[in-house]
Chain A
Amino acid sequence: MAAPEPPSSSQKVIIQLKATADAPILKQTKFKMLGTDKFAKVIDFLRRQLHRETVFVYINSAFSPNPDELVIDLFNNFGVDGKLLVNYACSVAWG
């Protein structure tokens, strides 16, 4: 008999951050977070780590997730190899 599934509220999601364009590369690129956290948490984290007010954050499937989206939903739909790959860029040419 299979063990009961852990409640989804405790499920963690592995996020892998990838620098693109000329964004600085973080020392640590893999993180675990609660599935029930919003994507906004990833965005805020990046802004603090990179000391930038604006960070462009996007997923490998060519879109920028809504900050209100739950990380677990993003992972379930777009995760690859057990992680959610999140790209980030800082300076988008302004003109």
Chain B
Amino acid sequence: MDESAWDGTLSASELSASAQAFAEKWKLNNPAYPPWTWVKSLKVPIFATIKVEEGYLSLENVCIVKSNDDEVASCVEGEASLCDKEDEESTDSATLVQTSSGNDNAQPYYFDFHIIYSASFRVPVLYFRAYCSDGRSLGLNEIESVLPANSAKVLLESKWTFITQEEHPYLNRPWCKLHPCGSSDWMKLLFQAVEQAMELYLVSWFSVVGPVIGLSIPIQMLKEP
């Protein structure tokens, strides 16, 4: 691959391959979180007779607790459902990863994250939504205020990570998304420094996108095996 000519984008099949590599590394190196799962979605393009199997990466039920003094605890509840997205029966094994010192005002919020390929930008896009324990969805402003202090900082300071509200491409419900414009530019920079397999695209991509929504990649995951 001619590095200098690469524009920082990738094809849908390259993203699928990268998604698999990313999910495997995540499972190995980030055991405190549920694993990412690939959700298949059969989409029939209009005027076509062939069904095109598409899919996206899903990480759901990530619990983020933000207490009043800005300390953030992350706990993991339940298992990410595999294919049956209607399955509400998740095992309730909450694991407190990090906790703030005894704050009664802590309110848990739950996040669902989907990484979906954008055919127009030819890059992955992060979609997410947040809701309270009573099931109420959070609006965009609310989400920005409950994100961990660090990610709020990243959002404010970075001019290439901003959140918009849009209809989920498969679920047809309003979700938030991290706008993809600019992603190919910084992906190009990231891959310019060293020869990288396309499989590692998502790992590099997530190192930039993750901190914006309070998810980080442990160092071990970034190292070549």
Contact = CB atoms under 8 A, between A and B. Distances in A.
**B and A form one assembly:** yes
B137 to A, nearest CB: 28
Nearest to B189: A89
Contact of B219 (A47, A73, A94): A73
B190 to A, nearest CB: 5
B207 A64 contact: yes
A23 to B, nearest CB: 10
A61 B194 contact: yes
Contacts of A68: 150, 216
Contacts of A74: 219
Given A21-B189, A77-B223, A62 B216 contact: no
B148 to A, nearest CB: 10
A76 to B, nearest CB: 9
B158 A62 contact: no
A94 B181 contact: yes
A64 B185 contact: no
Contacts of A66: 207, 210-211, 216-217
Contacts of A77: 219, 222-223
B182 A93 contact: yes
A94 B162 CA distance: 12
A20 B120 CA distance: 27
Contact of A53 (B159, B200, B216, B222): B159
Interface residues on B, range: 20 to 34
Interface string B179-211: 001100110011111101000100110011011
Interface residues on A, range: 20 to 34
B28 to A, nearest CB: 16
A61 B206 CA distance: 13
A63 B189 contact: no
A63 B190 contact: yes
Contact of B189 (A65, A92, A94): A92
A77 B191 CA distance: 18
Given A62-B204, A66-B216, A74-B219, A53 B193 contact: no
Given A54-B159, A93-B182, A63 B192 contact: no
Contacts of B217: 63, 66
A62 B182 contact: no
B160 A58 contact: no
Contacts of B192: 20
24 contacts: A54-B157, A54-B160, A58-B190, A61-B193, A61-B194, A62-B193, A62-B194, A63-B204, A64-B186, A64-B204, A66-B210, A67-B150, A67-B211, A77-B219, A77-B222, A78-B223, A87-B189, A87-B193, A92-B160, A92-B186, A93-B182, A93-B185, A94-B159, A94-B160
Interface of B: 150, 154, 157-160, 181-182, 185-186, 189-194, 196, 200, 203-204, 207-208, 210-211, 216-217, 219, 222-224
